[in-house]
Amino acid sequence: MERPYVFMQRALVTFKAAGLHSPLAGPSQEEFWLQLWVERYGALEASLFTGCVKKLAGERYFPRLHDMDEAVQDAQKRLLLARRRTQEHRADCHEPDLFDQANSKRRVRELIEHLEKKFTLAAGQ
């Protein structure tokens, strides 16, 4: 994640805006909390972290580290499962050969023969 400190500050603001009472008493504890979260979750993808923050903002209490760990693991499992399903889908769906030259030649020959028979019979009557 690029600029993880900014993301952590936004997460704290999001939690406060959601009405979650912060157990942090004062700016020094907030600074400690931000530093701890940067160390712990700074390597995550920004979209993954933001999704976890949105999920936790809907809870009743201010998230603990345990809550964030659970949310991150759940999001990573869902992301891994989605990637695996996409790969399986790609492996199952083989692109059809859109132009089979031998089969096309055979089919054209059959059509020509059919039309020749049809028009020779019609011309003979």
Q: How do residues 19-56 score in pLDDT, each as one tens digit? A: 998 888 888 888 998 999 999 999 999 899 999 999 99
Nearest CA to 37 out of 68, 60, 62, 75 is that of: 68
Burial tier of 37 (Cβ tally within 10 Å: 0-12, 13-18, 19+): buried
Q: What is the 3-state secondary structure (H, E, C) of 37-101?
A: HHHHHCCCCHHHHHHHHHHHHCCCCCCCHHHHHHHHHHHHHHHHHHHHHHHHHHHHCCCCCCCCH
**Residue 72: its pLDDT value, please?**
94
3 state DSSP class of 19: coil
Q: How do residues 101-118 score in pLDDT, each as one tens digit? A: 888 899 999 999 999 998
The residue written with tokens 């020779």 in the block is 120
The residue written with tokens 């912060």 in the block is 22
Both structure tokens of 14: 């999001």
**Residue 90: its pLDDT value, please?**
75
**Residue 94: its pLDDT value, please?**
64
**Residue 80: its pLDDT value, please?**
93
Q: How do residues 64-77 score in pLDDT, each as one tens digit? A: 989 999 999 999 99
**Residue 78: its pLDDT value, please?**
94
Q: Domain residue spans in the chain? A: 4-124
Q: What is the CB-side half-sphere exposure of residue 54 using CA atoms within 13 A?
A: 7
**Residue 114: its pLDDT value, please?**
92
